[in-house]
Amino acid sequence: MQRDQMNIVIVGHVDHGKSTVIGRLLADTGSLPEGKLEQVKATCAKNAKPFEYAFLLDALKDEQAQGITIDAARCFFKTSKRDYIILDAPGHIEFLKNMVTGAARAETALLVIDASEGIQENSRRHGHMVSLLGIRQVVVLVNKMDIVKYSEKVFREIEEEYRDFLAELNVSPVNFIPVSAREGDNIVHLSKKMPWYQGYSIKQQLDQLKKQEDLPDQALRFPVQDVYKFTEGADERRIIAGTIETGSINTGDEVVFLPSRKESTIKTIEEFNVPAKKTAYAKEAIGFTLTTQIYIRSGELMVKKTEKIPNVSTRFKANIFWMGKSPMIKNKRYKIKLAAARTTVKLVDILNCLDASDLSSVANKQVIEKHDVCECILETTRPVAFDLADELENTSRFAIVDNYEISGGGIVLNNLSTEESMFEKNIREREFSWEKSAISLKERADSYKHRSKFVLLTGPPDTGKQKIARALERRLFENNYKVYYLGKVTMEHGLDSDISSYPDSNDEYIRRLGELARIMTDAGQIFITTISDADDFDIRKLKLLNEPNEILVVNTGSNIFNNFKVDLDLDEHIDVQKAVLSIEKLLKEKEIILEYYL
Amino acid sequence: MDHLQKLEAHSVFLLREAYREFNNLCMLWSIGKDSTVLLWLARKAFFDHVPIPLVHIDTHYKIPEMIEYRDRLALKWKLNMIYGQNSEALKNKRTFPDGNVDRITCCRNLKSEALKHTLSGEWSRYKLNHETQKYEVDSNKDPYTGVIVGVRADEEGSRSKERYFSPRDKENEWGVGDQPPEFWNQYKTDFAPGTHVRIHPLLDWTELNIWEYIEREKIPTVSLYFDQGNGQRYRSLGCYPCTTPVVSDAKNEADIIKELRTGRFSNIAERSGREQDKEDGGGLETLRREGYM
């Protein structure tokens, strides 16, 4: 029979005795390896320093040197009821990111407060972080009761003050326990020194806690981690792989992928070394095949067609905690990781920041500094699918990467898709301040004997679109049209030479291409270029950027667009001359080039 | 889901995340039970395929059955199998069994150095040719930027502080005091040129979990783990001059599980048979900082 297991994190202000509590729990439940206690005691005796239970955890020399926990170390401890993994989170403010790491893995938090020092800054900050990270079970330990002579009055005062504080964060603690870790009071057994306390010891309390189970009636959320097509051994399966966040799914269920909005039906559930099955549940790391061949990228969110659909948007309100070396600033590009999605995000506005030491709000902040928790508006360059924190918290959570480092985390509070996006605003402002030429588009068209157009060839890589684009340029040129073909490589080594430093270089590439098209079409040119694997969103962006001028989209090879209707669909590796003629015919139909000008 | 299923699901998630994010990824296979479970989990993650090369550091002092077992599974499971070694140290006999250096230096030479230079591509990598069933010098010399390793947090102190995705700097060093945060299944998968990341999908597994899983999934392991009738077995496999068997009459997986839960080993550390740990002050920390797994 396998045993039940629970992850607990111990948090609290520096020096309030977290490591001592853990050392005691390990020692008094008989969970230490044989001889470990004796070994540590012997080391202490050798170095002429008094033994402390906290030393049991000091496995690293670094840590012993500084005398403070710098990282979330784990230790294992068992009771007759279940196994526990204790994560010792550092209390020092500088190590907030380590505290977050420990706390995020836990389903229960033990928050330690020193009875003699009372509630300190990090007692509050950690309480706040525990609530933000989504830990629902909080047990508060008022430690060092021996120092305050086991006074009930001291205990009750701390309890009252801290309970009020947690209430503001919507956290209702499971219990407050008066303990002395050094003396072993109320750790495993109830202490006789505090007859006024009739509740549980720490061990008894932990054994009373319930495991957090996933709710089966939640909506399905399946972030697509990857799409596999392994050809070895003639494996024909195209498998959508990932871990089910919430809900359940059956073979035959109709599904929608977001943000692309592509639809299909579950054909099979795929696993290795497990009998075939028809239903999969939350937390399973699993795979699916679909009944239809659709082009899905990693990062999409698969949901059921019949259930509540998540939000899809580029703009939202979020609560962010920041751990980065440099502050989070407005308009800088960061990478956001939300479930399996990754894209670029910008901080648009800071609504208010919370001073963790007393939960008062600080208005008018211009940057989010290290250790701040702020409510703010974020905007992504591509739409992302997400839920709101008070509806389905798992898929409302994200991390922010600044210069290779995970620097912040947050939860989405509100969808702001109805507001004008920064992207749209920028285009509006660009058009407003555009220095209009004295020569109108109409005059250019009359002089050049054709209208300007952005001609874009799309499709998967290696479908022959470059050859077609170049031949089209030659053909139009020879017919005296003003035409220019731009190759991607030309951009890469010139205008785009800095682009690899962008969190999502493809988005920036699209933006620059769109701006360039706007200029070229303003110059009255027929501007031709190619782009591989563009999706609906890329085209929408290019169209917006090129406005008020027009775009013509020709697809070569398999068409991966979902809703967008291309102007012309060509077969892969179609004869180049044939392709050129059909594009030319289309330009005539659309009256870009006119027969009577010839 | 039971506890083993949860452990399995999380490890599979981590393997898929690594495969998604790293172009030059490899997995270390020591032939021991932990990294073999890791290999099995890769088959789970990638639906009976292993699209990641497996790297074995051959110290030349491995127990012969281990090498035979490695090649047998590599052929059967069609693994992209690669080994590397410190030929120089072996040639010049800078080893403990040769009596020229202490155990720690020997580990440093045959394991840490060999690993470092095999991963970087500076020293030859030998790749299994599935047709000839022989090893050939691998033409791929690109450094691996993501290295999947089967360490467990319960093994010893320093490992309990590891991250699932743990960056190493240009000198292969581990900055224990300044590790990236990990929360909500988001990990450090972006890294500066010249650095690399170690990925630890087995961090939350215990020795007992490993054996429970081996039993449940029927994963083949080296027979050295079991008592062959002389009342001894290996609890942890390493080089034969520095690894001693333990007294045990566990003849199969079920016996080992019973022994770990309630028997003689329920409170004795697994690596108690590894001599280098003792010379390193019980922490393995010096070796680990320098790149030991």
Instruction: Round to whole Å and give the CA distance between A559 and A565.
Output: 10
pLDDT at position A62, please?
39
Distance from CA of A496 to the nearest CA of B (A): 20
CB contact under 8 Å between B16 and A226, yes or no, is yes
Domain boundary assignment for chain B:
3-205+278-289, 207-277
CB contact under 8 Å between A62 and B156, yes or no, is no
Please check whether residue A225 touches B, CB under 8 A: yes
pLDDT at position A493, please?
86
The phi-psi region of residue B92 (left if phi > 0; otherwise alpha if psi is between -120 and 50; otherwise beta) is alpha
pLDDT bracket for residue B102 (50, 70, 90):
confident
pLDDT at position A157, please?
96
Q: What is the DSSP string of A80-102?
A: SS-EEEEEE---SGGGHHHHHHH
DSSP letter at A376 equals E
Instruction: Round to whole Å and give the CA distance between A66 and B178.
Output: 14
pLDDT bracket for residue B269 (50, 70, 90):
low
Judging contacts by C-beta atoms under 8 Å, the chain A residues touching residue B158 are 59-60
Give buried/exposed letters for A326-352 (b at 16+ CB in 10 A, else e): ebbeeeebbbbbbbbbbbbbbbbebee
pLDDT bracket for residue B13 (50, 70, 90):
very high
Cβ-based contacts under 8 A for chains A and B:
152
pLDDT tens string B105-135: 888 888 889 999 999 999 999 999 999 999 9
Instruction: Round to whole Å and give the CA distance between B281 and B283.
Output: 5
CB contact under 8 Å between B43 and A284, yes or no, is no
**Substitution target from A3, A132, A229, A272 for chain B, most B beta carbons within 10 A:** A272
Distance from CA of A106 to the nearest CA of B (A): 10
Tell me the domains of chain A and their CATH numbers: 5-208 (3.40.50.300), 222-304 (2.40.30.10), 311-419 (2.40.30.10), 435-597 (3.40.50.300)
- The answer on pLDDT for B157 being more than 70 is no
pLDDT tens string A273-283: 999 999 999 99
Instruction: Round to whole Å and give the CA distance between A139 and A199.
Output: 12
Which of B51, B158, B182 lies at the smallest CB-CB distance from A60? B158
Please check whether residue A80 touches B, CB under 8 A: no
CB contact under 8 Å between B49 and A4, yes or no, is no
pLDDT at position A59, please?
44
- Residues above pLDDT 70, as percent of chain A: 93
Nearest CA in chain B to A394: B184
CB contact under 8 Å between A409 and B17, yes or no, is no
Instruction: Round to whole Å and give the CA distance between B192 and B142.
Output: 16
Parallel, antiparallel, or unpaired: how do β-strands A483-486 and A526-530 relate?
parallel
Residue where the block lists tokens 């550390």: B269
Mean pLDDT on A444-457: 93
pLDDT at position A64, please?
36
pLDDT at position A510, please?
92
**Substitution target from B158, B183, B270 for chain A, most A beta carbons within 10 A:** B183
Nearest CA among A42, A92, A24 for reference residue A63: A92
CB contact under 8 Å between A230 and B1, yes or no, is no
- Work out the mean pLDDT of chain A and round it to a whole number: 88
Please check whether residue A43 touches B, CB under 8 A: no
Which of B2, B6, B180 lies at the smallest CB-CB distance from A406? B180
Distance from CA of A97 to the nearest CA of B (A): 5
Nearest CA in chain B to A404: B190
Instruction: Round to whole Å and give the CA distance between A525 and A468.
Output: 18
CB contact under 8 Å between A235 and B49, yes or no, is yes
pLDDT tens string B254-267: 999 998 887 666 65
Tell the CATH topology of B3-205+278-289.
Answer: Rossmann fold (3.40.50)
Distance from CA of B161 to the nearest CA of A (A): 5
pLDDT tens string A42-87: 878 888 888 887 777 664 333 333 334 444 466 777 888 888 888 7
| Residue ranges in B158-206 assigned as alpha helix (H) | none
Which of B190, B206, B283 lies at the smallest CB-CB distance from A59? B283
pLDDT tens string A342-359: 999 999 999 988 776 666
Please check whether residue A230 touches B, CB under 8 A: yes
Judging contacts by C-beta atoms under 8 Å, the chain A residues touching residue B20 are 225-226, 298
Nearest CA in chain A to B286: A61
- In this structure, what token pair is assigned to residue A147? 């120092």
Counts for chain A of helices (H) and strands (E), in that order? 14, 27
Mean pLDDT on B241-245: 84
Cα dihedral A145→A147→A148→A154 (10° resolution): -50
Distance from CA of B60 to the nearest CA of A (A): 31
Mean pLDDT on A309-320: 95
Which of A76, A103, A243 lies at the smallest CB-CB distance from B9? A243
CB contact under 8 Å between B13 and A285, yes or no, is yes
- The answer on pLDDT for B281 being more than 70 is no
Q: Which secondary structure element, helix H or strand E, spans residue A239, and what is its range?
A: strand A239-243
